[in-house]
Structure 1
Amino acid sequence: MTKFIIISVLIILFGGFLYWAYLPDYRRNPKEFWRTLIGMPIGMILGGIGFRDLNEQIKKWAVAEKNEKEN
């Protein structure tokens, strides 16, 4: 029973984090939201374990459409 409560609280906290952290980005551009949602955590993990080049490639992938629109 205790495990269920702990898991439920963690899921609620994670859902709240996603709501408040990513909602402004979703409102700005819903089409690129999935790139941000996928790219940010993966890039942070890769950067944290020392794969800086992969982190930069993911960053370029996540903002590719923005750069194309600006040019």
Structure 2
Amino acid sequence: MTEFIIISVLITLFGAFLYWAYLPDYRRNPKEFWRTLIGMPIGMLLGGIGFNELNEQIKKWAFGEKNKKKTEK
């Protein structure tokens, strides 16, 4: 029974983290939100284990080329 309570609390905390961490991204651009939600953790994981080139490709996919063009202007 205590394992169930611990797992429930951890899942609730993780859900709250996702809500507060990604809510500004969702408000900024709802269409690109799923790319950000999927791409950022995978990119961080790949970068952490040494696949920097794959990390850069996922960043380009997640953020798109639009953001680069906006920052260069």
Q: Same fold (TM over 0.5)?
A: yes
Counterparts of 1:49 and 1:68 in 2: how far apart (Å)?
Answer: 26
The residue correspondences of 1:19-34 to structure 2 (distance < 5 A) are 19-34=19-34
Counterparts of 1:65 and 1:12 in 2: how far apart (Å)?
Answer: 35
SS at 1:62 equivalent: helix
How far does residue 65 in structure 1 lie from its aligned partner after superposition? 5.6
Counterparts of 2:65 and 2:31 in 1: how far apart (Å)?
Answer: 10
Counterparts of 1:5 and 1:67 in 2: how far apart (Å)?
Answer: 43
In the alignment, what sits opposite 1:10? 10
Percent same amino acid at aligned positions?
85
Unaligned runs of at least 5 residues, structure 1: none
Q: Which amino acid aligns with 1:10?
A: L
Could you report, residue by residue, the CA deviation over 1:3-51 in whole angstroms, capped at 9, with x for unpaired residues?
1011101111011101110000000000000000000100010000000
RMSD value, Cα? 1.8
How many residues were matched structurally?
A: 71
The residue correspondences of 1:1-71 to structure 2 (distance < 5 A) are 1-64=1-64, 66-67=66-67, 70=70
